[in-house]
Chain A
Amino acid sequence: MITLKAFQYLAPIAPFEYVRPTNLDELLNALNEYGTKARLVAGGTDLTIALKERLVNPKVVIDLNHLRAKLSGIELTNTNLKIGAMTTYTELEQNPDVQRYARALSEAASQVGTFQIRNLGTIGANLANGSPAADTAPPLIVLSAKVTLLSKQGERKMNVEDFITGVKKTALRPYEVITGVEVPLKNNVSSYWMRTAKRNENVISVVSVAVSSEIQSRSFGESRIALGAVAPTPILASKSSLKLTGSPISEETIEEVSNLAKEESKPITDVRASAEYRRHLVYVLTKRTIKKVVSLARSS
């Protein structure tokens, strides 16, 4: 018998209680009270589908909508680019400070989903969702960003590469909320992000690569390479990052580092691509992204 997945949607979403905190205290109280029984909703692009597919069955949905003023926005300080958790992909894509200091991130944000999804989806939820293919994660990792988590016990900050711990798993505790991410400002750092997918638009990345580097006249300074969709979590490719740092800017370096990044990836075969193809893409995209970072640095 042929069963169409779409038929599942004819069944309504299971009922739940709906809580609408209007300030952070109310939110933290609600998280303390409901913990694992609750799910947070920001834009709804991930949660609503999970509810329809019955992948999650929360007793309570906590709507962050009335906290948008507090939890969204992009602020440039002397040391950081502070991005509120409820900042949308469209805001990241269009913000001049993100474009200037975190190009990899604005680039990734501009290619998530569709125009409609980018107007809804938020950076905090992209991380909280814990997908190995989360497009904002590799850029945040190469930019050494930290995610800020708030609970009644106070605030803690974590590296993005440590925050996503497994497929759909994060270090977020049930009584915590992501309030934002902080990208440290570094002089002369260029960054970029590229991906390959089955189409150009509205698609999950098959492989994504982010690179940041402090490009000097003849060599790569401090550099970081991160990979998406080729391991259970987005990963910092530490060996290739270390290799790139301090190496001369040459075809040989880029070739060697891209091969090393390929070795560091641990992809699986799934509906989107084979492991072998993904490994090859890591090599190709790392090469192209490093070259783009060099050309961006030289043209600025």
Chain B
Amino acid sequence: MRMETEGSVEITCTINSTLVHKKVLPNQTLCDFLHDEMGTTGVKKGCDTGECGACTVLLDGKPVTSCLILAPQIDGHEITTIEGLGSDKVLHPVQEAFIELDAAQCGYCIPGMIMTASALVKDRPNITEAELKRYISGNLCRCTGYQQQLQAIMVACKKMNARINK
């Protein structure tokens, strides 16, 4: 068993495909750790209570709100943020669809929403719009009426299906 005092919890994890070995504060959330210490500033802090979804990242491929996780909880796990989703040259299908459909206004909720959507198009490319509304309900957007975003995610699902069937 590893026993640590304040400020000295060692973790080994994978962040955006890079193996990271680091000391973290146990009383820091994963959201703050990723944003402030790892420089992955696409992780946004909105409500800090797990309601708004702006801080959504993938933990072992599943969307989670990083503001509800203590940083050392990710020891041994794999984290993906928006920075690790596509590249400047090749965008992720969800990113492409969000651009094509002008699905962002102020943009603050978008990284989190794209992270949730990326898991949905991967695991459930045949999702219905009704199911999508339920699964995306943990990502709040205060600018739009969600229409372009829902459409963009449905388009991304089609793109994903097309890639699978190629």
Contact = CB atoms under 8 A, between A and B. Distances in A.
Task: Indicate, yes or no, whether A interacts with B.
Answer: yes
Nearest to B119: A115
B48 A6 contact: yes
Contacts, number: 124
A61 B73 CA distance: 11
A6 B67 CA distance: 13
A13 interface: yes
Interface string B29-62: 1000000000000000001111101001001001
B62 A90 contact: yes
Say what secondary structure dominates the interface of chain B.
Answer: mixed
Say what secondary structure dominates the interface of chain A.
Answer: mixed
A114 B52 CA distance: 10
Contacts of A154: none
B9 interface: yes
Interface stretch (B100-108, B133-141, B154-162): B133-141
B5 interface: yes
B73 A17 contact: no
A6 B47 contact: yes
A12 B56 CA distance: 20
A19 interface: yes
Given A16-B6, A52-B48, A65-B75, A201 B68 contact: no
Interface in A93-152: 113-117, 119-120
B73 A44 contact: yes
Interface residues of B, number: 40
B56 to A, nearest CB: 6
A44 B6 CA distance: 18
A89 to B, nearest CB: 12
A202 B137 contact: yes
B27 A117 contact: no
A81 B92 CA distance: 40
Interface of A: 6, 9, 12-22, 26, 29-30, 41, 43-45, 48-49, 51-52, 61, 63, 65-66, 90, 113-117, 119-120, 200-202
15 contacts: A13-B29, A15-B6, A16-B6, A16-B26, A17-B4, A20-B9, A22-B1, A44-B69, A45-B65, A48-B50, A49-B49, A116-B53, A116-B116, A117-B65, A120-B64
Given A9-B48, A115-B63, 4 more contacts: A6-B48, A45-B68, A116-B116, A200-B134
